[in-house]
Amino acid sequence: MAEPRLVLDEFLPFRLSVTSNLVSGLIARAYQSLFGLSIPEWRLITVVAESGAITQQAIGARTRMDKVTVSRAAIALVERGLLARQGNPEDRRSHLLDLTGAGRDLYAAVAPKALDLEARIFSRFPPAEVAAFSAMLHRIEAFALEQEKIA
């Protein structure tokens, strides 16, 4: 009996990574050319827009970006006046990041473009397939988080 063979184009982690990079790249073109944002910077803005004031550590946990990437993106966004740092009343050793008025305006300009791209992607599928795909992604993520806790 033949040994199982790893075929990258059928290997889930590879496919998820490639697909994520392709889709992220599509929307990145819009916010890079219009607003000069990198992918990590856009991710920070979206997380802060959704959550409100948040620590860099929490952003890293939410986005799965490493500390250095989060830190560099945060510094760049603070320097551009899109994020503001404020003291963290719960932990004086850390600080919270929050959107400035300019950051909220930028988010309001870019978010519809991201949603439009998502709608165009999903327009090729019946609603039931979109719902099933979303449910599968949530289950895969939950499994990976469980395994991470065990390791």
Q: Is 112 within a domain?
A: yes
Q: How confident is the model at residue 98 (pLDDT cuts 50, 70, 90)?
A: very high
At residue 33, the pLDDT reads 84
Q: Is 98 within a domain?
A: yes
Q: Is 137 within a domain?
A: yes
Q: Is 15 within a domain?
A: no
How many structural domains is the chain composed of?
A: 1
pTM of the shown model: 0.85
CATH number at residue 49: 1.10.10.10
**45: burial class by Cβ within 10 Å (0-12, 13-18, 19+)?**
buried
Q: Is 28 within a domain?
A: no
* Structural domain that includes position 106: 36-150
DSSP letter string, 89-101:
TT-TTSEEEEE-H
Beta bridge partners of 85: 97
At residue 53, the pLDDT reads 96
Q: Is 23 within a domain?
A: no
Of 29-43, 71-85, 107-121, 135-149, which gets the smallest average pLDDT? 29-43
Cα dihedral across residues 15, 19, 21, 22: positive or negative:
positive
